[in-house]
């Protein structure tokens, strides 16, 4: 996917629903298998929420030749400023080295400037030298963030379902979560974990406000809608105690972003009401999430955390998360 051997100025337009079949065909040539379900979800999500997605295409004499898909992020893990996450940039193999990739990036960055968004993010496998070269040539640098993941261990399901009532609440108060090799959901009389619903929005906004000091109702409403509609499979959870929502985890299941071949659960946000801190709420949420993912045959859960978010990093590392073989990249558009 070259960016310097430009022989013409490709004409960029908005990606349209009719582009689904050719976009899937181009992507299949690149990754070696069809990701039709992934493209269907992304195009449908863009139609429902045009402000939350940025998608462009380039045509040639034979039809579609290139496409880029990106989504707007506005508040993951308390982030204040919005950013754009570049998820797919595909150029038909026979049309590479003609400047299509750079033209798509240029259109994406122009749209970001129009919206007042400064930061463009993406990630690649550290072994993907072709894309690493492309992104470096187009102004990307390594981002100050860790991409970490935890393996979904089938043996954890039995442990999570063995409710023997011997949990040490003092230990939960100290660590809020056990080591990964001792993952175990808390007794049901202490924490009830179930799927999020539309009725949980007010509680989520309240908890998020307690943690961030800001009213992010629009962001939480968008993430809840994504969890209930866009992801296709509902994996986001709420923890209730004494009838109140005490915490939540927002996660989505994708089968193709960043060129991945296997389904990965991406954890966007996790929050616990301060009044329930130290009561094992986060432990229960992550435990149940991994149990559910195991039932869906999803092999790992992943998230991206700022390098200086030591408290959250420590919590997730104690939960069994480890650095992945993916590199977070960023470009300041300005």
User: Tens place of pLDDT for every residue, the chain, 334 residues?
Assistant: 544 444 567 899 999 999 999 999 999 999 888 888 889 888 988 888 898 899 999 999 999 999 999 999 876 655 667 899 999 999 999 999 999 999 999 999 999 999 999 999 999 999 999 999 999 999 999 999 999 999 987 565 444 444 443 444 434 443 443 333 444 444 444 689 999 989 999 999 999 999 888 888 888 888 888 777 765 577 899 999 888 899 999 888 876 555 555 678 889 889 999 999 888 899 899 999 999 998 888 889 999 998 888 988 999 999 999 999 999 999 999 7
CA distance 165 to 143: 43
Write a three-state SS string for the chain. CCCCCCCCCCCEEECCHHHHHHHHHHHHHHHCCCCHHHHHHHHHHHHHCHHHEEEEEEEECCEEEEEEEEEEECCHHHCCCCEEEEEEEEECHHHCCCCHHHHHHHHHHHHHHHHCCCEEEEEEECCCHHHHHHHHHCCCEECCEEEEEEECCHHHHHHHHCCCCCCCHHHHHHHCCCCHHHCCCCCCCCCEEEECCHHHHHHHHHHHHHHHCCCCHHHHHHHHHHHHHHCCCCCCEEEEECCEEEEEEEEEEECCHHHCCCCEEEEEEEEECHHHCCCCHHHHHHHHHHHHHHHCCCCEEEEEEECCCHHHHHHHHHCCCEECCEEEEEEECC
Same fold, 12-117 and 148-325: yes
- CATH code: domain 12-117 is 3.40.630.30
**Cβ atoms of 41 and 17 closer than 8 Å:** no
Measured distance CA(56)–CA(108) in Å, rounded: 8
Q: Which of 247, 243, 225 is nearest to 234 (CA)?
A: 225
User: Cβ–Cβ contacts within 10 Å for residue 296, how many?
Assistant: 13
pLDDT for position 332: 96
Model pLDDT, residue 80: 66
Residues in contact with 196: Cβ distance below 8 Å, sequence separation at least 6, in sequence order? 204, 224, 227, 228, 234, 236, 237, 238, 248, 250
Asked if residue 147 lies in contact with residue 328, where contact means CB atoms within 8 angstroms, the answer is yes
Residues with Cβ within 8 Å of 328's Cβ and at least 6 positions away in sequence, in order, are 121, 122, 123, 142, 143, 145, 146, 147, 304
Look at residue 25 in the predicted model and tell me its pLDDT. 96
Q: What is the Cα 288 distance to its own chain's centre?
A: 19
User: Domain 148-325 classified CATH 3.40.630.30?
Assistant: yes
- Distance between CA 261 and CA 127 in Å, rounded? 15
Q: Can you tell me which residue has the tokens 């009532």?
A: 165
Q: Is 251 exposed, middle or buried (0-12, 13-18, 19+ CB in 10 A)?
A: buried
Residue 143's pLDDT is 94
Enumerate the domain spans of the chain: 12-117, 148-325
Nearest one of 152, 159, 27 to 89, comparing CA atoms: 27
User: What is the C-alpha separation between 70 and 55, in angstroms, rounded?
Assistant: 6
């Amino acid at each position: 996917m070259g960016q310097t051997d430009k022989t013409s100025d490709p004409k960029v337009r908005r990606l349209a629903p009719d582009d689904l079949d050719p976009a899937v065909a181009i992507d299949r040539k690149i990754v070696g298998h069809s990701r039709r379900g992934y493209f269907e979800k992304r195009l449908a999500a863009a139609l429902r929420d045009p402000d939350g997605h940025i998608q462009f295409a380039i045509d040639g004499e034979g039809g579609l030749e290139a496409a880029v898909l990106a989504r707007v992020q506005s508040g993951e893990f308390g982030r204040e400023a919005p950013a754009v996450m570049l998820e797919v940039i595909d150029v038909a193999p026979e049309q590479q080295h003609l400047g299509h990739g750079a033209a798509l990036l240029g259109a994406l960055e122009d749209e970001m400037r129009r919206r007042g968004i400064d930061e463009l993010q993406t990630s690649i496998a550290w072994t993907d030298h072709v894309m690493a070269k492309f992104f470096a040539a187009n102004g990307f640098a390594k981002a100050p963030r860790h991409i970490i993941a935890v393996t979904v261990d089938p043996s954890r399901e039995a442990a999570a379902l063995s409710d023997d009532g011997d949990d040490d609440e003092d230990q939960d108060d100290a660590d809020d979560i056990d080591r990964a090799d001792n993952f175990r959901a808390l007794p049901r009389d202490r924490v009830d974990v179930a799927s999020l619903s539309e009725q949980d929005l007010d509680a989520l906004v309240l908890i998020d406000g307690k943690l961030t000091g800001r009213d992010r109702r629009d962001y939480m409403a968008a993430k809840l809608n994504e969890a209930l509609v866009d992801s296709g499979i509902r994996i986001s959870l709420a923890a209730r105690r004494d009838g109140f929502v005490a915490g939540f985890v927002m996660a989505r299941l994708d089968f193709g972003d960043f060129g991945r071949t296997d389904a990965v659960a991406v954890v966007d946000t996790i929050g616990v009401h301060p009044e329930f801190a130290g009561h094992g709420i986060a432990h229960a949420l992550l435990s149940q999430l991994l149990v559910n993912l195991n039932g869906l045959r999803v092999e790992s859960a992943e998230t991206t955390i700022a390098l200086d978010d030591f408290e959250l990093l420590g919590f997730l590392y104690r939960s069994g998360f480890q650095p992945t073989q993916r590199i977070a990249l960023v470009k300041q558009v300005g």
